[in-house]
Amino acid sequence: MALTDVQILELPRINDPRGNLSFIENGAKCLPFDMARVYWIYDVPGGRMRHGHAFYATYELIVALSGSFDVVLSDGTEQRRIHLCRSYTGVYVPAMTWRELDNFSTNSVAMVLASSLYDELDYIRDFEQYKTLMSDAVR
């Protein structure tokens, strides 16, 4: 995994004077994996952070459905910050990428589409452990 594998994806958008519409479909060109789970993060106090983690095998697409926040990504040596504020733009996060969400605006909603069902054994929750795993993988 490298931060160059991270992609900013523009989702389909249908503009309409009555209100715009965006969508995500399995098997469509807009999602580089089949989704198995969708969850959302909300009621994060403005300016606050959600602690990070990485997944051994799960891929994610993170979208700001409402408001804004930053997705902070790391490969153990480099870091990249992406600001999300449009509901038709998402960040594709490959497996083995450390990610944190921070700088939430008030009343923001983060929607996350995941390639697998919840499995606690897939999580890496300690950044030092993550850096060691990434360092060992390079050797």
83 is catalytic: no
Query: Shortest CA distance to 31 belongs to which of 136, 106, 113?
Result: 113
Q: Residues 37, 50, 53, 80: which is the catalytic one?
A: 53
The CA distance from 11 to 13, in Å, is 6
What residues contact residue 133 under an 8 Å CB cut-off, 6+ apart?
76, 96, 124
Q: Which residues are catalytic?
A: 53
